[in-house]
């Protein structure tokens, strides 16, 4: 059923958003294999994170929710139990790519299955390095889910990342917990470091030197209390709206501003937006409140080295570029083709329907800003970030739009439209 997307003259308000999806996954994972009870506050209640919770419950971990807390009674590093059957992970790429690293050190065989969409996403990028660590791991046809992992002895590895991916890096680092020796991961471009921070917080012997991460196996994790900050990827949609729409003022509270993840702030500033970071604090992740007011935006160049820090925000950056003055060039975008959908196709098609001038050229996107977008009939492509980005684009259009389906936002932000509608026209 299609959903009406109404334009607005301004958005205004102060909002508190759900927990960061990436950090929520990792808090549950670390807590499940730690010794003791982890109390994780503000874990994101979304489809993806609930698949991770369900996976550990299937392996004998006692996890319960009490108000804003997720209580995890850890089984210890090698204490997971053989599941009774395959573990279904829905469309959660984070679960599918990181869990094999944890299963690598368990004393049983497990099968990870997925829905149709995730079953088409490449997994050789995780099975290959884990195989180099001596893990018995196989994917369907060598490339796609389901994945079968038979845990056992894990060898340390010195691995150079072929593509920037925090998920693959995380799988190797978790596997490194079980190895007899030091595992090293080398990155060409620094990807988000939530796993490094989380493992260090839980007591792992882990060190970072530039774009190299070292983890020494054999040390167990100790349960910790964790507060999950608001998700910068979720915040990016409202920050973009505040930057685009005249007369707006938006404040998002308690947002994670990890420098390997918060490239959207750098992009907004380079485009000329009035963004203000206040009330900074830090535990294991840096957190702050972010205020946004509108300004005239201008086109910029985003190089390949910056892509890992904005990979999830690229759809909304495309929207910002579409109404910015001048040309925006974004290089190194091919990783968007292997997300929940081909986001180059989804965003290009939708923005062209709204009158934007956007073209993919090789591994880059070129966008010439237009004065105003047009209302249009849009498609979600069953992709949460495409859907939310187009909802924001519709706010600044000359007339209302519609989108074919919005159920996909439950993957990362079930309450997105409620929050957005609460900000309109205040």
DSSP secondary structure string, 231-249? Answer: PHHHHHHHHHHHHHSTT-E
Fold type of domain 21-227: UDP-n-acetylglucosamine1-carboxyvinyl-transferase; Chain (3.65.10)
Give dist(CA 392, CA 377) in Å, integer. Answer: 14
Buried b (16+ CB within 10 A) or exposed e, 327-345: ebebbbbebbeebbbbbbe
Element (H, E) at 15: strand 12-16
User: Cα(244)–Cα(121) distance, rounded to whole angstroms?
Assistant: 33
For the question of residue 254 being annotated catalytic, the response is no
> What's the average model confidence in pLDDT over 209-238?
97
Q: Which of 259, 261, 243 is nearest to 312 (CA)?
A: 261
Average pLDDT for 396-415: 95
Average pLDDT value for residue range 380-402: 97
Q: Which of 20, 254, 289, 312 is catalytic?
A: 312
| Structural contact between residues 42 and 18, judged by C-beta atoms closer than 8 angstroms | yes
Q: What is the DSSP letter of 67?
A: T
The answer, yes or no, to whether residue 426 has pLDDT greater than 80, is: no
Query: Over pLDDT 90: what percentage of the chain?
Result: 94
- CATH 3.65.10.10 residue ranges of the chain are 3-18+229-423, 21-227
pLDDT reported for residue 425: 62
**Residue bearing tokens 């074919």:** 404
Burial per residue of 232-253, b for 16 or more beta-carbon CB atoms within 10 angstroms, e otherwise: bbbbbbbbbbbbbbeebbbbbb
Strand positions, DSSP E, 238-298 = 249-256, 274-282, 286-293
Mean pLDDT, residues 403-416 taken together: 94
pLDDT at 228 over 90: yes
Q: Which residues of 186-215 are buried (b: 16+ CB within 10 A; e: fewer)?
A: ebebbbbbbbbbbbbbbbbebeeeeeebbb
Mean pLDDT of the chain: 96
pLDDT at 424 (0 to 100) = 86
- Residue 168 DSSP SS3: helix
Paired tokens of 281: 């604090």
pLDDT in tens, 15-54: 999 999 999 999 999 999 999 999 999 999 999 999 999 9
DSSP-derived secondary structure letter, 230: B
Confidence of residue 1 (pLDDT cuts 50, 70, 90): confident
> What is the rounded average pLDDT of the residues 197-218?
97
> How far apart (Å, rounded) are the C-alpha atoms in residues 79 and 101?
15
Give CA separation, 101 vs 34, 80, 97, 171, in Å: 15, 13, 8, 4
The architecture CATH gives domain 3-18+229-423? Alpha-beta prism (3.65)
Which has more pLDDT, 122 or 105?
105
Q: d(Cα 170, Cα 314) in Å, to the nearest integer?
A: 22
Q: What percent of the chain has pLDDT over 70?
A: 100
Strand, coil or helix: what is 150? Answer: strand
Residues in the chain: 426
Work out the average pLDDT over 276-297.
Answer: 95
| Alpha-carbon gap, residue 105 to 107, rounded angstroms | 7
Q: Please list, in sequence order, all residues whose beta carbon lies within 8 angstroms of the beta carbon of residue 207, skipping any fewer than 6 positions away.
A: 213, 214, 215
State how far the Cα of 136 lies from the Cα of 152, in Å rounded to an integer. 8
Per-residue model confidence (pLDDT) at position 340: 82
Beta bridge partners of 330: 302, 365
Structure-token pair, residue 259: 């420098």
Residue 361 has a pLDDT of: 95
- Checking if the pLDDT of 162 tops 60, the result is yes
Cis peptide before 91 (omega within 30 of 0): no
pLDDT of amino acid 338: 80
Task: Let me know: does 266 contact 345? Beta carbons within 8 Å.
Answer: no
Which uninterrupted H or E stretch holds 413? none
């Amino acid at each position: 059923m299609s959903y009406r997307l109404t334009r607005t003259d301004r958005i205004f308000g102060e909002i508190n958003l759900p927990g960061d999806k990436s950090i929520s996954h990792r808090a549950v994972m670390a807590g499940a294999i730690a010794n003791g009870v982890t109390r994780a506050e503000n874990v994101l209640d979304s489809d993806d994170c609930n698949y991770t919770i369900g996976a550990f419950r299937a392996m004998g971990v006692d996890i319960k929710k009490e108000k804003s807390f997720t209580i995890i009674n850890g089984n210890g590093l090698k204490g997971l139990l053989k599941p009774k059957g395959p573990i279904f992970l829905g469309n959660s790429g984070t679960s599918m790519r990181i869990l094999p690293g944890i299963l690598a050190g368990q004393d049983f065989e497990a099968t990870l299955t997925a829905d149709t969409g995730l079953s088409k996403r490449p997994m050789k990028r995780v099975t290959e390095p884990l195989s180099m660590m001596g893990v018995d791991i196989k994917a369907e046809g060598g490339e796609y889910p389901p994945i079968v992992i038979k845990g056992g002895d894990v060898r340390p590895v010195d691995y150079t990342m072929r593509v920037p991916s925090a998920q693959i890096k995380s799988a190797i680092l978790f596997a490194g917990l079980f190895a007899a020796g030091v595992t090293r991961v080398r990155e060409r471009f620094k990807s988000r470091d939530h796993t490094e921070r989380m493992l260090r917080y839980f007591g792992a012997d882990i060190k970072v030197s530039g774009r190299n991460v070292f983890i020494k196996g054999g040390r167990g994790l100790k349960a910790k209390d964790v507060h999950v900050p608001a998700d910068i990827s979720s915040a990016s949609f409202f920050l973009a709206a505040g930057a685009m729409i005249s007369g707006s003022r938006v404040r998002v509270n308690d947002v994670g501003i990890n420098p390997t993840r918060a490239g959207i702030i750098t992009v907004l500033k380079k485009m000329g937006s009035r963004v203000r970071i206040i009330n900074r604090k830090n535990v294991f992740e840096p957190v702050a409140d972010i205020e946004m007011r509108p300004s005239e935006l201008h086109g910029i160049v985003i190089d390949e080295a910056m892509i890992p820090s904005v990979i999830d925000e690229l759809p909304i950056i495309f929207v910002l570029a579409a109404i910015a003055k001048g040309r925006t060039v974004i290089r190194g975008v091919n990783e968007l083709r292997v997300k929940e959908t081909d986001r180059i196709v989804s965003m290009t098609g939708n923005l062209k329907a709204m009158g934007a001038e956007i073209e993919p050229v090789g591994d880059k996107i070129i966008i010439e800003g237009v004065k105003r977008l047009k209302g249009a009939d849009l498609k979600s492509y069953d992709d949460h970030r495409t859907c939310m980005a187009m909802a924001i684009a519709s706010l600044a259009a000359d007339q209302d739009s519609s989108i074919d389906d919005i159920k996909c936002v439950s993957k990362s932000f079930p309450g997105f439209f409620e929050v957005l509608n609460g900000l309109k026209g205040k």
